[in-house]
A and B are shown apart, each in its own frame.
Chain A
Amino acid sequence: MKILVTCKRVLDPYIKARVKPDGSGVNLDNVKMAMNPFDEIAVEEAIRLKEAGSASEVISVSIGGAKCEETLRTSLAMGADRAIHVVTDEDVEPLALAKVLQKLVEEEAPGLVIMGKQSIDGDSNQVGQMLAALLGWAQGTNISEVQLGDGEATVTREIDGGLETLKLKTPAVLTADLRLNEPRYASLPNIMKAKKKPLEKKPLEDMGVDTAPRQVTTQVSEPAARAAGIKVADVAELVAKLKNAQVI
């Protein structure tokens, strides 16, 4: 069974996002970029399933500009077998991303697609569910555990009230939450090996997918910072302040 995983290139999660001086968008020039942390967890899970003998091949996919190749090489260094880079300089919306992935799924016929539950830039949390809908597959979102069976997967999901366990018919789309695993660091020999692994480039316009945007961003801004507060000397002063503020 093949597993398809996605790797989005995003602003490094430890760097604070800033609006460009002209207000036209988020500044991504000359800032450190990284693989979306939830996608890293997805890649790790796919590799672990392969190491456990449940999968035969792990294919990583990234959709975006030329530098997505670096992100895909990271996934190959972690242990993915080969990569597909759908090349575009456009900002592709979640629905269109799902349609591109649908095409790749139809070509590659994986038994499982594993993605991050959301990307930490757009925070949309949509692509996995949309891909499952387009394919008519089951979806396991926000998963913290997966066990593969015969034609089915049992997944534990992190939900608002705690945990939920579902049985899904496979093939299925799974989206990774934080506690699914702790992604490995690529070793130097594996980073060298990854340079020789196959990486196929496909221009977005050759995919036969309508990627025309449905939404236009009319404004981006940084929210007003909270005014600096005060330090209190002890618990008694804290309680007095809170009573004064009428919050207790």
Chain B
Amino acid sequence: MSILIIAEHDNASLKAATLNTVSAAQKIGGDIDILIAGTDCGGAAEAAAKLPGVRSVKLADSAEYGHQLAENVAPLVVTIAADYSHVLAPATTDGKNLIPRVAALLDVMAVSDISDVIDADTFERPIYAGNIMSVVKSSDAKKIITVRTTKFPACAEEGGSASIDAVAATGDAGLSSFVSQDLTQSDRPELTSAKIVVSGGRGMQNGENFALLDAVAEKLNAAVGASRAAVDAGFVPNDYQVGQTGKVVAPDLYIAVGISGAIQHLAGMKDSKVIVAINNDEEAPIFQVADYGLVMDLFDALPQLKDALD
């Protein structure tokens, strides 16, 4: 077997999601190659070449791949996919945008968001917002897959010395173009790879009050997340959202503050190792999944928590 991984990267370096995807590939077994498609992405390629167990890095460095437009990257993947039994990408917004387009071009049914590898053809994946786990066996000759990164450990970043081979670019499809991006600036760790996540919900009442969460997060070197209710109310940007349709996180510690615990939110965080809930409503469903529940007004609890962590 041979596996092609579509790397998530920012041209200069690899994103953590790529490391989890390598672990999923190792569980399938076989030769592992990594595709770096981007613009001036030699730095990301060099980082990929150092990952342990990687055979070779395919480098497609060209202007049309700079913004990971699916219309441009999918034909590139199709041109090199012939050599592989499996094509994997992390189930990030980029991976989920790209992989089904690749699969349809290859006339393959993709397998989305796998949470475990049973064998080379059979995978576990969550359905119904993770309330049901299903095991699916694919009869397609080629398996085209996205990987739920929180379900696989990150591989080591050093130890390998793969070759880097240039791949011919496939050109601009002329269907789409990048206009702008508005990325949230934060000094905090990234939500999906942080060891500790502190999240706020509707109970935070407004965006300014998230400063109380930030103060606790800073003490813990934690990322800050939010429930859908808090995002819909405009307290924080969309990329804070944890849940079925936002980000899935599984940190060592998840602290849910002023979050009631709708099914859709639980879907995004219930694999966390330790869950803390702080809510003044002792009937809130979040307490049913919390290891430690504190029934208390969050406006009293958060300053006390910050002081206790000094």
Contacts and interface: CB of A to CB of B under 8 A. Distances in A.
- Asked whether A and B interact, the reply is yes
B108 to A, nearest CB: 7
B104 A98 contact: yes
A179 B238 contact: yes
A235 B109 contact: no
Interface string B97-110: 11111111101111
- Size range of the chain A interface in the assembly: 35 or more
A236 B307 CA distance: 10
A215 B289 contact: no
Given A95-B108, A248-B220, A168 B176 contact: yes
Contacts of B74: 133
A187 interface: no
A141 B122 CA distance: 28
A195 interface: no
Contacts, number: 256
Interface string B111-152: 111000000001000111111111111111000000000000
Contact of A123 (B126, B137, B270, B304): B126
Contacts of A221: 132-133
B263 interface: yes
Contacts of A140: 176
Dominant SS among interface residues on chain A: mixed
B299 interface: no
A161 B100 contact: no
Contacts of B178: 164-167
B245 A118 contact: yes
A138 interface: yes
Contact of A215 (B100, B138, B247, B292): B138
Dominant SS among interface residues on chain B: mixed
A123 B127 contact: yes
Nearest to A214: B109
A160 B109 contact: no
Contacts of A16: 131, 263
Given A129-B101, A220-B133, A248-B220, 18 more contacts: A13-B264, A121-B127, A123-B126, A129-B97, A139-B71, A159-B181, A160-B93, A160-B94, A161-B183, A161-B184, A213-B109, A214-B138, A215-B111, A215-B140, A216-B136, A226-B291, A231-B282, A238-B305
26 contacts: A13-B264, A95-B110, A129-B98, A132-B71, A136-B175, A163-B237, A169-B174, A169-B175, A169-B176, A179-B231, A179-B238, A215-B111, A215-B138, A216-B136, A216-B139, A218-B135, A219-B135, A220-B127, A226-B291, A230-B293, A231-B287, A232-B294, A235-B301, A239-B305, A239-B309, A248-B309
